[in-house]
Every structure is written in C-alpha cells, then in structure tokens.
A and B are shown apart, each in its own frame.
Chain A
Amino acid sequence: MNQPLVAIRDLSRAFGDVQALKDVSLDIGENEFFALLGPSGCGKTTLLRVLAGFEQPDAGSVTLDGADLLDVPAEKRPVNLMFQSYALFPHMSVEKNVAYGLECDKVAKAEISERVADVLATVGLSDKAKALPNTLSGGQRQRVALARAIVKRPRLLLLDEPLSALDRKIRGEMQMELKRLQHEVGITFVVVTHDQDEAMSLADRVAVMNTGEVRQLDTPVQLYRHPSSVFVADFIGTSTILRGYADSVGLWHTQGLPTLKVGDAYANAIAIALRPEDAKVVAGTDVSAKIEGTIGSVFFQGDHALAQVLVGEQQFLVAIRDGELPERGAHVALTWNDQALIPLITE
C-alpha cells in the first residue's frame, strides 16, 4: 500500500473499567472496502465513532490523507456515517433527507437538486423522492440512508451494521448492491459488523476484533484459510478445534484422541483447526482413515449437510456434499489431508 487513506496508530479508549480499544493500529487504503468484524463489545463500534468524530480516544492518533483527523469536529470531517438505525429524519421527504448534507455545505440550489436526483437514481429510488421515510420498506430506507451518506462524496464512508435490520432475503440483494455502489462511486467504505458472512463477502480486507484489540487483519480468503488464533478460527467459519501440542517427531497430542500426524511447522501451535469441508467421512476399513467415531446430529443445509462425528468427548464437524446422508449412531471413520490442519499459535 502506498500512502494509506486512513492511518490509525495506537488508539486506546476506556469506558470506566472497560477497555474498548487497546493500542489499535491499522491502515485503510484508498478505495478499499474495509470491514471491522467482531462480537458485540469488541470495540468496533467505538472505533467507528472515533472515525466519525462522536468519540475521542484517550490516546493514539488518526490521520486522513496524512492530516490529523481527531482535531476536526464531526461536522467538518470528509467522513459520513450510515447509521445502524438509518437515522432518517422522519419529518423530511426522501429528497430533503438526501439534500440535507449539501444544504449544510451551502451548495447552490440547482446543483443540489441535480446531485440528489443523480444519487437517488443510483440507489434506484427516483420514484420515491417525495415520500416520507416511514412509508418506505426497510430496504428502501436503507437505500435512502446510503444515498444521504454518499451524496456529499466523502473521502470515507462508515457503515454501522448496514444489513442487520433487513430480512435475510433482502440482505443478499443489498450486499450485492453495496459492492456495486462501492465500485461505482469509488469511495472508501468501512463497514462495522458482527456478521462474518457480511464481512467476508463484502470486504477486501477484514480486521477481526475482540476485547478492544485487532486480532488479525487480512483478506477474507487468508483469514479463512490461515487464521492465526483460536478466536479467529472459531469466529470465522466453522471448524473443529483440537487443543494440544506437537511433539518432537511431528505428532499432535490431544487428550482423549489418538495422536495425529502433523508437520514440523506445528511446534509452537496451541491448537489445530480443521474446516468441515476439508474432512471426509469414509468407511472404517478405508486405508486413509485417520480416526474413528460415531455420527451425532446431521444438519441439512441444502447444498451440503454438516455432520457431527463424535470421537470420545471430542466432536468433529464434517461437510457432506454428495451421497447418502449417514444415520445417527452410524460407525464411521474420518480422513483429511495433513496440510488441511491449521496451526493456531495464540488464543
């Protein structure tokens, strides 16, 4: 990355005893679609509010285009926020809501109406210009909120849980819509979400946060394939996590399980993770069988099914793509590629 658009350095913020942000440092690039992902209370919303200007950190710095951002009041920042509740002004029409930010900047009347019409066309709401927000559907309101936030052409657009208030069906549509818009308007997007699917499918890069810290920052593919900690492996996607240790001859020891063959690279791992799609159910007699167990619950998901395989106290999750679904209680064996075991270095 050349000069980053936003550079966040050693940001800390405490609310009483709760450390909402702990020495957070990260860069966000120009035109990037960036996601802050984490469970509630992980500090992602605080970080968003610091960027928007509604919250001041206790320590650290934030620059935008190389210039200090923290000293700029919220109303003067080239940063706009799309609120989780959308925060549409209920007494103003769609058009008035969208024009509000431009009116604050004293943009000429003719230009305002032109830009408002443009942006409403972009989000596909030209025919709702005169409608009041409470007459619109959830998806439409969200489009208005989005239009209102991008009409000022901010350097940075912040989106707080943009899809959480929508039905599952519209959510998929809006996801594609957001991605399309980001390409079209060329604005840097930072989305805050607790929904991993949302972050993974939308973002170019994702910062996974927990208890005020950035645990891992990477592309969705890398995060999924190479989580570095138990937290990230557990939070992103589904996986079977086996705690234990590797010995000097490359064998993995987990209490209650037979030893598993791993490589030298696992020496300092505290756990290993196995994605369900990397494991396969085979007959107990198969030569490739690594471990034996019995089928627990089977969760049918349409294109695949997720089967629980119980080995002693430990449960393995296995994706089954084709063939008969196994019966509960059936005796089976599991196999996988040794490289599929992901070493996890930290908690």
Chain B
Amino acid sequence: MRGFVRALPLWVLYLFLYLPIAVVVLMSFNSGKNPFVWEGFSLKWYPELLQDAEIMGGLRTTLIVAIGATIISVVLGTLLAFALERVLPSRALDAAATAPAIMPDIVLAIGLLALYTLVGIRLSSVSVMLAHAVFGIAFVAAVVRVRLGTLDKSLEEASRDLGASALRTLRKVTLPSLRPAIIAGALLAFTLSLDEFTVAFFTASPSDPTLPIVIYSRVRFGVTPQINALATMLLLVSFIAVILAQRTSRLADSLKGDTTE
C-alpha cells in the first residue's frame, strides 16, 4: 500500500496519458448510437466499418500514400545519409537535412500547396505522397546517419581486403549493417504518414482524401461509434509498428555488440 501511495503521481500521469485512448477503445464496443452513453457491449461497428465506402476509400488512399512515401523516403533518405556522412560532411547541410522533420507542419503544408499551384501539379494521392516524403526523407536520413557514423570502418575495409568490389561491399556489408536503421526509419516514415493530417489536408485532392481527412470531416458532425472503432484499429496498427521498431532496434544492438568490442 505504501508503495502504491508513493507511486501515485506516476499512476495519475499514466491515467492522463491513456484515459483518452481508453475512452475511444471502450466506446467502440458500445451498442448504442450515442457515442457518449454506454448502452451495452457490441462488436457491430467493426463490420459496419468495412461496409463504409468513404472510409474504405480513405484507407486505400492513406495506404497508397504511406507506402509510396515510405519507399521514396527510404531510398532518398539513405542516399542523403551517405552524402552527409561520407561525401560532404557539413554542419549547415546537416541542419538543413533535419529541418523538414521539425518544421511546423502548417508551414510545410502552405509551402507545398503554393509550390504545387505555381508549378501546376494537380492535387492527387501522388501530391500527398511527395509531401509526406519531404519529412519522411529527413527522418530516415537522421536515423540512418547515426548508424552509419558508428559503423566500424574496418568492416568495409575487411570486405575490400577479401577481394570485394565497392559495389559488392555496399550490397553485402554496408547495407546489411544499416538494415536495422533503415527498417526503423521506414517504420517511422510509414507511421508518420499514416496519421498525418495538416499537410495532407492542404495537398490532397478533395475527391480523393486520406483517412485522417475523412475522419475529420465526419467528426465535424459529431463522433460516431464507427469512428471509435476505426480509431481502435489504427491504435492496434501503431502498437504493432512500435513493437516491430523495438524489436529491430534490439536486433541492431545485439549486432552492434560484436563490432564495438
């Protein structure tokens, strides 16, 4: 009991963190239409969700955007990490590479919309994808760079010493050593894109909105139990992503143990 009292502030803090989420999850199992009054347990909103064409369309667009943005981010972000670490080490370029990750979304959103209009790019899922890649690249580059910086140089030298060409060394030694960082960066870019609202709101086509935009437009007319069910499912997806990310980083640590000794 004394232990509980001592840890009380901690429990209050956790309550603060998780109460909103608990409400959403709980109400997603509410059988009534009113999202604020508990009327009994039901799973009926979940199958109904699958019947909702608008939500399903939004989900499809979001997945296309997230997957596309992740692929672009991983490829360009990794290349950027190599450039910053190996080709042109410079603090100014470093800062410029991380800026999109911490810049206010609204600035990026307005800028992108202005640019698209200026250049004459039609708003579509591709325009959102490119927009999300802007900060995705920054995150991937940051994560991969750290790993690249701590990479034991002698691994690559050993590869050359054993007769491997530069390309073979990259393919067989460098990239596999970076794999945990690349996976972590990819998960980051993917999950950030998945629930991103501000930038998507500005750069998506009105006829082809992403899921967060669909949810927002629904919620304006009140929270429905369907939205709660959707939120619960999104929560599940994020949890899985977090667990995957932790696993890969643990893998990275255990692999690193060999080279740092």
* Residues of A bordering B, CB below 8 Å: 52-54, 74-76, 79-81, 83-85, 87-91, 100-101, 104-105, 133-134, 138, 141, 148, 152, 165
Q: Is the CB of B163 within 8 A of A152?
A: yes
B173 within 8 A of A: yes
Give the 10 A-B CB pairs with smallest separation, nearest first: A101-B162, A104-B163, A87-B158, A134-B258, A87-B154, A90-B258, A90-B255, A91-B176, A83-B154, A104-B164
Question: Given A91-B176, A134-B255, is A85 in contact with B163 using a C-beta cutoff of 8 Å?
Answer: no
Q: Is the CB of B162 within 8 A of A80?
A: yes
B250 within 8 A of A: no
Query: Which residue of chain A has the shortest Cβ distance to B180 in the bound complex?
Result: A91
Q: Could you say which residues of chain A place their CB within 8 Å of the CB of B164?
A: 75, 100, 104
Q: Could you say which residues of chain A place their CB within 8 Å of the CB of B127?
A: none
Q: Could you say which residues of chain B place their CB within 8 Å of the CB of A90?
A: 177, 255-256, 258-259
Q: Could you say which residues of chain B place their CB within 8 Å of the CB of A52?
A: 157, 161
In the complex, what distance in Å separates the CA atom of A165 from the CA atom of B168?
29
Q: Of residues 102 to 129 in B, which have CB atoms within 8 Å of A's CB atoms?
A: none
Given A54-B157, A104-B168, A148-B158, list of 20 further CB < 8 A pairs?
A: A52-B157, A53-B160, A53-B161, A74-B157, A75-B161, A75-B162, A75-B163, A80-B161, A81-B158, A83-B158, A85-B152, A87-B152, A87-B155, A89-B159, A89-B176, A90-B177, A100-B164, A100-B172, A101-B163, A134-B254
Q: Could you say which residues of chain B place their CB within 8 Å of the CB of A88?
A: 258
Q: Could you say which residues of chain A place their CB within 8 Å of the CB of B257?
A: 134
Choose one: A76, A87, A91, A133; the contact of B157 (CB below 8 Å): A87
Query: Which residue of chain A has the shortest Cβ distance to B256 in the bound complex?
Result: A90
Q: Is the CB of A100 within 8 A of B157?
A: no
Q: Give chain A nearest CB distance to B164 CB in angstroms.
A: 5
Q: Is the CB of B162 within 8 A of A152?
A: yes
Q: Is the CB of A75 within 8 A of B160?
A: yes
Interface of B is mostly: helix
In the complex, what distance in Å separates the CA atom of A327 from the CA atom of B166?
65
B48 within 8 A of A: no
Q: Is the CB of B161 within 8 A of A81?
A: yes
In the complex, what distance in Å separates the CA atom of A188 from the CA atom of B16?
69
The 0/1 profile, CB within 8 Å of A marked 1, for residues 73-117 of chain B is 000000000000000000000000000000000000000000000
Query: Which residue of chain A has the shortest Cβ distance to B155 in the bound complex?
Result: A87
Q: Of residues 193 to 245 in B, which have CB atoms within 8 Å of A's CB atoms?
A: none
Q: Could you say which residues of chain A place their CB within 8 Å of the CB of B179?
A: 91
Q: Could you say which residues of chain A place their CB within 8 Å of the CB of B157?
A: 52, 54, 74, 81, 83, 87
Query: Which residue of chain B has the shortest Cβ distance to A89 in the bound complex?
Result: B173
Q: Could you say which residues of chain A place their CB within 8 Å of the CB of B176?
A: 89, 91
B261 within 8 A of A: yes
Q: Is the CB of A100 within 8 A of B152?
A: no
| Residue with the highest number of chain B CB atoms closer than 10 Å, among A88, A89, A141 | A89
Question: Given A83-B154, A83-B158, A85-B154, is A91 in contact with B255 using a C-beta cutoff of 8 Å?
Answer: yes
In the complex, what distance in Å separates the CA atom of A74 from the CA atom of B162?
9
Query: Which residue of chain B has the shortest Cβ distance to A133 in the bound complex?
Result: B258
Q: Is the CB of B259 within 8 A of A85?
A: yes
| Residue with the highest number of chain B CB atoms closer than 10 Å, among A76, A100, A105, A133 | A100
Q: Could you say which residues of chain B place their CB within 8 Å of the CB of A141?
A: 258
Query: Which residue of chain A has the shortest Cβ distance to B169 in the bound complex?
Result: A75
B246 within 8 A of A: no
Choose one: A75, A76, A148, A165; the contact of B261 (CB below 8 Å): A165
B165 within 8 A of A: yes
Q: Could you say which residues of chain B place their CB within 8 Å of the CB of A84?
A: 154
Q: Give chain A nearest CB distance to B144 CB in angstroms.
A: 16
